[in-house]
Amino acid sequence: MITWRRVTEADFPLLREWLARPHVARWWQQDTSPEGIARDFGPAARGEEPFEDLLVLLDGTPVALVQRSRFADCPEYAAELAAQVALPDGAVTIDYLIGDAALTGQGLGPRIVRTLVAATWTDHPGATAVVVPVNVANRPSWRALEKAGLRRVGTADLDPDNPADERAHYVYRADRPGGPVGREGAAGPA
């Protein structure tokens, strides 16, 4: 069973461990010092910013991190993306990682994405779509989105998290079920 809760400061040592692992560090480029983790995750953990850092649990055991945010809360990023692909008002985005490399490649990523996208419609009643840019080099990530039911709607030229990567990103989207765009591409329950 997949559940989640907000990240708390007590989770910071686990996040540091996960973010330092090679399969995560390759894509996240995160400062894993205690100060860096507190700086980057502290405001959301304390409810001081609108972004959601969610600790995902599988049968009660922490396995992943999902960050969920509204594009409206990131206006510069939203404008950059909207200049390249359709970005509906009310769109939400997610970013995600699986902490243990041994759990990757087994279908857990798509299950997590599908479950969080489905929950977004309840958690964020104004959300019209979930739109996720992912670097074209990160095949496991964009394949997880496809397996979760999101559809590729375009490409975008965006700054990569890892400066060693190209700027090319695939953009994936799931629309709110029954919304103005219809059910195509909507993610369902896990």
pLDDT in tens, 50-101: 999 999 999 999 999 999 999 999 999 999 999 999 999 999 999 999 999 9
- pLDDT, tens digit, for every residue of 119-163? 999 999 999 999 999 999 999 999 999 999 999 999 999 998 888
| Contact by Cβ (8 Å): 132, 145 | yes
- The pLDDT, as a whole number, for residue 155 is 97
| Contact by Cβ (8 Å): 155, 136 | yes
- Cα–Cα distances (Å) from 113 to 26, 27, 41, 124, in that order, read 20, 17, 21, 16
Residues forming a β-bridge with 173: 131, 151
- The pLDDT, as a whole number, for residue 180 is 55
Q: How far apart are CA 9 and CA 119, in angstroms?
A: 24
pTM above threshold 0.75: yes
The neighbour count for residue 146, using CB atoms within 10 Å, is 14
| Contact by Cβ (8 Å): 171, 133 | yes
Residue 96 φ/ψ, nearest 5 degrees:
-155, 155
Only one residue has tokens 């709607």, namely 153
Q: Is the pLDDT of residue 187 over 70?
A: no
Tokens representing 186 are: 């909507």
Handedness of CA 126, 128, 134, 140 (dihedral sign): positive
Tokens representing 140 are: 């496991």
HSE-CB at 47 with a 13 A cutoff on CA atoms is 0
Amino acid at 89: D
The neighbour count for residue 184, using CB atoms within 10 Å, is 11
